[in-house]
Structure 1
Amino acid sequence: MANETKTLAGLNLNFWKQDEHTIHMSIKNPHAGKDSWLTSIEHTDKHEGTQMARTHNNLFRDLKSILEENGKW
């Protein structure tokens, strides 16, 4: 059996700078009709280089570059 790619399209995604080391993200699933889900993505600099549950340096870097390109950082 071939591997199946599972993709969920049509989500509403917003993200914004909270502080120098935190990006907040809200995701709404219109298919479920529920309120938005809110989370944050942090850089390890926020925790003196310690990896924590919400530290994702690569994702932080990529989202920050999108915000910078659009004058939102």
Structure 2
Amino acid sequence: MYSRKKIQEDIPEVITKIWSCQSEDCNGWMRANFSFDHTPTCVLCQSPMTSEERMLPLIVNMNDHVKLSAVVTTAE
């Protein structure tokens, strides 16, 4: 029998560094390699964020080298 459903491949999960909102009322978080600041503030409630780790699906940030080159040029 023919099935039209696509076979979904398993996306590997890895331990990922994230920034998590410190506010009790907010569930905001972001991946560390997608943030532009060394210590970002929450975009939802503007509270400070702390560094944590979570098991998340693997996502590669293709613009990571752009962020690193911007840091190098501003440091010179």
Judge same fold: TM > 0.5, yes or no.
Answer: no
**What TM-score do the two structures reach when normalised by structure 2?**
0.31
- After TM superposition, the score normalised by the length of structure 1 is 0.32
Say which structure, 1 or 2, has more relative contact order (CA 8 Å, 6+ apart). 2
Larger Rg: 2
